[in-house]
Structure 1
């Protein structure tokens, strides 16, 4: 059910929706919806998989207003955690939330991609409900078209692969494309699959942007081959 909007404010609300849906370079999901501890089963898996590292370096890509970062902090009390989001207002909200925590291991950056991040640095990267576009599912679109292009998805994934240390973990949940269709996937092994009830209803498209009928893709966690330092 949509929230009630007074008649006088509907033109403004419609304009804001159009602005959000307008393609912006580097932006995938136009909606910043998030929740605290949204994927507990995935975070728990990551905590167990990284238990041997006392202070694993973590990246939350598309961190929105910080719920994911602060949920990770509960499981990784000593980890340096970095949040990146394309929306500067979201980053401002993250910084405001972090004030008073006396936690200098949290950092936030407004950026459209991981281009400025160091190579081979992170032990885990979380990109959850980011590499997708909600309007594709709402419209039941048969082509991803200009809203989501496979080339942009693959470019983002290539960036994650570059930033991950050997043996590092990549978590991709709720995407409109399959990680296995990317060239980068050849350097990874799948280590975590979601159950059907842990998946969103977002549509799945192939490399050419064509709808995959009844498409479901359950692998969500991947380990980069190699031995970490």
Structure 2
């Protein structure tokens, strides 16, 4: 258990008693007392953040990412797991009918579990995992993978150099603090994650996808069907995002209060050369 976790446990009676005393004075009629409580609360939260920054490498990597690249990136939390979307992965495997020469991009691969999962569904494919979190990439590069798997920093240059691709998976990438956004009832994402950023990224990926290739956009706050490149795509099957519990937004970055069913798997139209 970390030091921060211990501090939060009932085993610190003096600290808990102090916090309770401060809480009781939040609604004091004395404005100076209320001001003092606000200052103490801010100092306490700041101390917690500093402590966590110094002791939690994962938290530190996320915070640095938000501070240095927050205006350019999408999801910052590296939450992942093995085989999280079996129905979608199976449908994509069946679409390609075991074609051996596939090149696949896992866009936002986090610590590599998605790449390991894709290898099980596509045993002969070349798989590129890309992520902006360098700590996550370091974890990826420690994985026992074969010579057809490669992990790269998620920059336009490196992703482009390893393309073009037959399938691009963007799983739970195109979203920003979705639980917090939903809990707060936010009606616009314009300030923290505007639609234009999503559309720009989708357009870049579209330029790296071969005709008849698959673009998978799943668990997203925005819809591919709202982008300027949507006319080039048709949905594969009925793989939707009905179980996505977070708020979704339109091309104006405004909340969609009764969102229609949104597809996740798309085929790029055109002749495959």
Does TM-score exceed 0.5, indicating one fold?
A: yes
Q: Which has the larger radius of gyration?
A: 2
| TM-score for both structures, normalised by structure 1 | 0.87
1:183 alignment partner, SS class: coil
Which among 109, 125, 134 is matched to residue 152 of structure 2? 109
CA distance 1:86–1:164, change in 2 (3 Å): same
Q: Map residues 96-135 of structure 1 onto 2, 5 A cutoff.
A: 96-98=142-144, 101=145, 103-113=146-156, 116-118=159-161, 121-134=164-177, 135=180
Q: Is residue 152–residue 158 contact of structure 2 (8 Å, CA) maintained in 1?
A: no
Map of 2:5 onto structure 1: 5
Q: Aligned-pair distance for 1:145?
A: 2.6
Instruction: Tell which has more relative contact order, 1 or 2 (C-alpha 8 A, sep 6+).
Output: 1
- TM-score, with structure 2 as normaliser: 0.74
1:67-78 pair list within 5 angstroms: 67-78=113-124
Tell me, yes or no, if the aligned pair for 1:192 and 1:220 is still in contact at 8 Å: no
Query: In terms of mean alpha carbon deviation, does 69-78 or 116-125 score higher?
Result: 116-125
Unaligned runs of 5+ in 2: 9-46
Choose between structure 1 and 2: higher helix proportion.
Answer: 2
Structure 1 residues 69 and 25, CA gap change in structure 2 (3 angstroms): same
Higher share of residues assigned strand: 1
C-alpha displacement at 1:25, in angstroms?
Answer: 3.7
**Number of residue pairs matched by the alignment:** 222
Distance 1:206 1:172, change over 3 A: same
Q: Report the 3-state secondary structure (helix = DSSP H, G, I; strand = E; otherwise coil) of the residue aligned with 1:158.
A: helix
- Asked if the contact 1:26–1:113 (Cα under 8 Å) also holds between the matched residues in 2, the reply is no
Gap regions ≥5 residues in structure 1: none
Distance 1:196 1:107 in 2: 29
Relative distance call for 1:144 and 1:132 in structure 2 (3 A) is same
Partner residue in 1 for 2:111: 65
Q: Does 1:47 align with 2:86?
A: no
- Please report how far the alpha carbon of residue 194 of structure 1 lies from its aligned counterpart in structure 2 after TM superposition: 2.9
